[in-house]
Amino acid sequence: MHKIKKYGRATFLSLEIYNFKLFFIGQTLSMSGTWMQNVAQAILILQLTGSGTALGFLAACQYVPIIFFASFGGLLADRFSKRKILFITQTSSGLLAFIQGFLVLSGLAQVWMIYLLALCLGIATAFDNPAKHTFIYEMVGDKYIKNAVSLNSTLVNLARVIGPTIAALLIPTVGLAACFFINGLSFLAVLIVLVMMHKPELHMTTTVKKTKGQLREGFQYVKSHGILRNVLIMMAIIGTFTFEFSTILPLLAKFTFQNGTQGFALLYSALGFGSALGGLYSASRTSTSLQEIIKTAFLFGGFVILAAFSPNLIIATALMICVGFLSIIYLSLCNSLLQITSSPQMRGRVMALWSITLLGSTPFGGPIIGWIGEFIGPRWGLATGGIAAIGAALLVSFFLQKQTKPLPQKVVSP
């Protein structure tokens, strides 16, 4: 019993911090709405086009701006108050959700309109993500950053279970528009939380003054640090081809398992449930290393391939739980290692590059995976992601073997 209590306290340690506890609650509500909208948006595009390639371009529209604007978002996060930036980005995202809801409700929604709104949301996300990642550090400091990052990943994926489940109930009964309106309202929770926070308790980092060449300085900083560079290379490959679940799972559910909306929601919920379990497991651990990241990527890719060639929906759902479990451990390890290893004055720009490799890679991978899913088969679209994850792990392993300087075995949160 004592060990269970000790494990439980270690898992939820950062929730003892008032500001992070508020943030956790607000983000759970907001992210549930976001995943609900993601399901509704995917179903809407399939209804309007019936095309997997069109579904891939939807993801591309949402994430293209991250390639062009995330670096500036990271620079702003280093220069200005992260909390103020989040006020602006969260308000913008909520308004976009309401606009999309009105278009669907009125019957005026067209494919180009959905693409345009996705593009605008991508711009907001490009500035939101670096600020959000670095704001977590400001809420908890060095001591609890590993735990807080893991719990934050857990809430995102807990929301991935809640959101699609609610969407699966609402879409056939109330309609698609309800998902967008609820998502719009959920952003209010984040704004309320930001107002309620105790500002003096934040671990404010010294802001960087504006000078020439700061974006280039961020790239040079990552290039000169082997750990940061290798983590981001892996994430670029895996982000491009493996984390395309919102593109390939609707196709797998509809055309392979002959179970459209409900099958998609089931697979997505299983992915989210496994991710939530993985986040809780990761939160109880205090160390990370590049070697652990490589091993996790191997396992992650292997289970993605197994899920791709599952004989039926039930087995695929069970394997997607394993995929989700490993995916969040991989992401938590990468995120934590980047934040712990980066200097405070560079953290915003480093996490901006993390956003680019994780989300900004989608515009390239989404259409490719969508095309493979549509013209070669959904199974091969999903399997491509698994092969890419294993390939990325092999590539970085090769880089490590070429290094002459020994790599630190563990990085432990203070």
In DSSP terms, 288 is beta-bridged to 411
Quote the CA–CA distance of 192 and 22 in Å, as a whole number: 9
CATH number of the domain that residue 273 is part of = 1.20.1250.20
Q: Is the pLDDT of residue 405 over 70?
A: no
Nearest to 241 by CA among 387, 124, 82, 114: 387
Confidence class of residue 75 from pLDDT cuts 50, 70 and 90? confident
Confidence class of residue 355 from pLDDT cuts 50, 70 and 90? confident
Confidence class of residue 62 from pLDDT cuts 50, 70 and 90? confident
Q: What is the pLDDT of residue 234?
A: 94
DSSP secondary structure letter of residue 198: -
User: How many structural domains comprise the chain?
Assistant: 1
Quote the CA–CA distance of 388 and 375 in Å, as a whole number: 19
Q: Whole-model pTM?
A: 0.74
Q: Is the pLDDT of residue 130 over 90?
A: no
Could you tell me if residue 239 is inside a domain? yes
Q: Range of 198's domain?
A: 10-202+213-412
Could you tell me if residue 207 is inside a domain? no
Could you tell me if residue 269 is inside a domain? yes
pLDDT digits (tens, 9 = 90+) for 323-349: 999 998 898 888 888 888 888 778 888
Q: What is the pLDDT of residue 148?
A: 84
Q: What is the mean pLDDT of residues 88-100?
A: 94
Nearest to 78 by CA among 247, 264, 214: 214
Determine what percent of the chain is predicted with pLDDT higher than 70: 92
* Number of residues written out for the chain: 414
CA triplet 328, 334, 337: central angle to 5 degrees? 135
Q: Which residues in 186-225 are b (16+ Cβ under 10 Å) and which e?
A: bbbbbbebbeebeeeebeebeebeeeeebeeebeebbeeb
pLDDT digits (tens, 9 = 90+) for 369-388: 989 998 999 999 999 999 99
pLDDT digits (tens, 9 = 90+) for 167-203: 888 888 888 999 999 999 999 889 999 999 988 888 7
Could you tell me if residue 1 is inside a domain? no
Q: Is the pLDDT of residue 409 over 70?
A: no
Token couple for 362: 């989608």
Token couple for 78: 């280093």
Average pLDDT along the chain = 85
Could you tell me if residue 4 is inside a domain? no
Token couple for 143: 């001591």
Could you tell me if residue 5 is inside a domain? no
pLDDT digits (tens, 9 = 90+) for 296-311: 999 999 999 999 999 9
Q: What is the mean pLDDT of residues 142-169?
A: 77
Could you tell me if residue 198 is inside a domain? yes
pLDDT digits (tens, 9 = 90+) for 250-286: 889 888 888 877 888 889 888 878 887 887 788 777 6
Could you tell me if residue 2 is inside a domain? no
Token couple for 333: 């390890």
In DSSP terms, 39 is beta-bridged to none
